[in-house]
Amino acid sequence: MRILLAVDGSQASFQAAEALAQFAPCEYLIMLNVIDSPTVGYQSLWLEMKDLPQIVEKEVRRDAQEILERLKGSLTMSVESLSQKIKKGKPPEIILDIAAKEKIDLIVMGARGLNRVSELVFGSVSHRVMSHASCSTLIVKTPIPRLQHLLLPIEGIEDSSRAVAFFERMPFQERSKVTVFHAVPFDSDYAMEESLLSGSFREELMVAGRALTDHAAAQLTDLGYQAESLVRYGPPAELIEATVVEKQSDLIVVGSHGRRGLSRFFMGSVSHSVVHRSPCSVLVVR
């Protein structure tokens, strides 16, 4: 697998680097630090210190290189080939551009950066990368010392198939326990009121959900994972969050619909709530 690790020196960056230990040996790893030299609003200062921009950028690059060297020294995963890159520009654009050019399979980054201390994924660099990347993306929210349990929420056959295809690559060091989860999503936020659903129709939806999750769980079992299926009825985001806590999940794995970003199921309030409120990291697979 070809992995791009995007870092900026924040604690979350180091947690993202540590999370690589949970993955199988890597064919190619790029460690990327995107820098942005500060600007000064007073033209007179630039006239008096013509070399200031170059001096500042040199110092920023030196700090960036030190960060990359520290991270390289802390790596425990097996890597066939490693490349360190320092680029200047806007982080989302640089990360996505390199991922495309280098044919990256997985982007790994922290949920919080140095410039967004109080903000989690949505509206931040990590959210923009996760939403627009054509490859899988791991957003590390907390340390991942071990992957003992994975929660795999699925909406339909398309995102289920993509998730199973990712598991077929045997991306992790261990074949963890996996709960394949489906929420029958009817509540006040949906067009059809819950009260209008007959008991028989609800049961039909539950049966269809069980068939979907059972099929995916059987595929994962054939791959050597300890897989189970779980279907519940109600608001998807709340159910996913509750199941993460109940199962003590280390990672949420979300399948996507094609290359157009997250599935419709996860694009709106569901995704916002899950990624913001989930106590564990999120892996979007494509």
Residues 99, 45: contact at Cβ < 8 Å?
no
3-state helix, strand, coil in the chain (%, to 5): 45, 25, 35
* Domain ranges, ordered by start, for the chain: 2-140, 149-285
pTM for this entry: 0.84
Give the up-direction half-sphere exposure of residue 180: CA atoms within 13 A in the CB hemisphere. Answer: 29
Q: Which fold has domain 149-285?
A: Rossmann fold (3.40.50)
**2-140 and 149-285: same fold?**
yes
CATH class of 2-140: alpha beta
pLDDT (tens place) for every residue of the chain, 286 residues total: 999 999 988 888 899 999 999 999 999 999 999 987 655 555 555 555 666 777 778 888 999 999 999 999 888 888 999 999 999 999 999 999 999 999 999 999 998 755 543 344 434 788 888 888 999 999 998 899 999 999 999 988 888 999 999 999 999 998 999 999 999 876 544 444 555 555 677 788 899 999 999 999 999 999 999 999 999 988 888 899 999 999 999 999 987 755 444 544 444 456 556 667 788 999 988 8
